[in-house]
Amino acid sequence: MIIDGKKIAEELREELKKKIIEFKATYKSVPGLTVILIGEDPASKIYVKNKEKYAKDVGINSEVIKYPDSVDEKTVLDKISNLNKDKKISGILVQLPLPKHINKKKIIDAILPNKDVDGFHPVNVGNLSSGYESKVPCTPLGCYLLLRKVEKDLKGKHAVILGRSNLNGKPMAQLLLKENCTVTITHSKTKDLKNECKRADIIIAAVGQPKLVKGDWVKKGAIVIDVGINKTANGLEGDVDFKEVSKVAKAITPVPGGVGPMTIACLLSNTIECFKTANS
């Protein structure tokens, strides 16, 4: 089974649209999302454009604030401070990566946790790892929703996560622990990655290595979620060898059209959650 992330993301956006219509009637207002984009990174520009497009489509008030590469840290921090106080803004996102002279941690820490649509603020990270309510990073949240589409009961399943980034691997592990999975987190120093993968009921690959996960790494009937987006001479490729692995897996996400569309849909969902928190 191929997990159609595009379709599932579309369904999620339809649900969000309905929620926003309800908000309009109840609160006479709609969620607002501000994205700060610094510099000219082509990939970041495309991501931000898509975020803005889909936010508008579902009825979120979306604005993009653009700064040149040379902007100083204080200007960005002052802007975040103003956005934190602005009641019309439910969610704030600063597009990463940032120029070297801007301290990523300072920027993330400056965003009010309740407006942190990316779920990167230490308060949200701490709440997630303590099992409390929190804003959850969009990509792992998207993976989790895709997983739930094919497996309702994750209890006791052995999930092997490839990659330990703050963006993907670590929050993914927390989400799956919350669902009572047995979780193995692997990384570039893991000794026998193939054998770790072979024991998995669920594989989440988030390493940024094209086609790393081969067919003979995967147990028959496993579910495979491919987070990787790698630009190669053959076009976009995931971290999983789709052709080989799709022959043994019970379900697998394609690249593109798997996790990617869910990431943006989850950003919109997080913005709505922030709006709800602000109005509760």
Binding site for ligand NAP (CB under 6 A): 139, 162-165, 167-169, 186-190, 193, 206-209, 212, 227-230, 259-260, 263
Distance CA(127)–CA(89), nearest Å, equals: 23
4 is catalytic: no
CB of 31 or CB of 261, closer to ligand NAP:
261
Give the number of residues written for the chain: 280
Using DSSP bridges, classify how beta strands 202-205 and 223-226 pair: parallel, antiparallel or unpaired. parallel
Give the strand pairing for 61-67 and 223-226: unpaired
Task: Select 188 or 195, whichever has its Cβ closest to ligand NAP.
Answer: 188
Active site residue 118: yes
Output phi, psi for 89, to 5 deg.
-95, 115
Q: Which is nearer to ligand NAP, 99 or 257 (CB)?
A: 257
Q: Please identify, using beta-carbon distances, which residue of 16 and 162 lies nearer to ligand NAP.
A: 162
The structure tokens 């969000």 sit at 16
Nearest distance from C-beta of residue 119 to ligand NAP, angstroms: 13
Least CB distance to ligand NAP at residue 149 (A): 16
- Edge-to-edge strand ranges of the sheet holding 223-226: 182-186, 158-162, 202-205, 223-226, 251-252
> Of the candidates 270, 240, 279, 233, which has an alpha carbon nearest to the alpha carbon of residue 3?
240
Q: How far is the CB of 26 from ligand NAP (least distance, A)?
A: 32
From the candidates 19, 79, 95, 157, which is the catalytic residue? 95
φ, ψ for residue 2, nearest 5 deg: -95, 125
Q: How far is the CB of 155 from ligand NAP (least distance, A)?
A: 26
19, 115, 116, 118: which one is catalytic?
A: 118
Rounded distance, CA 60 to CA 163, Å?
A: 32
Question: Shortest gap between Cβ of 227 and ligand NAP (angstroms)?
Answer: 4
Does 226 participate in catalysis according to the annotation?
A: no
H or E element in which residue 29 lies = none
Catalytic residue among 19, 51, 79, 135: 51
Q: Would you say 52 or 114 has its CB closer to ligand NAP?
A: 52
Q: What angle do CA 52, 6, 15 make, to 5 degrees?
A: 70
Which residues are part of the catalytic machinery? Answer: 51, 95, 118
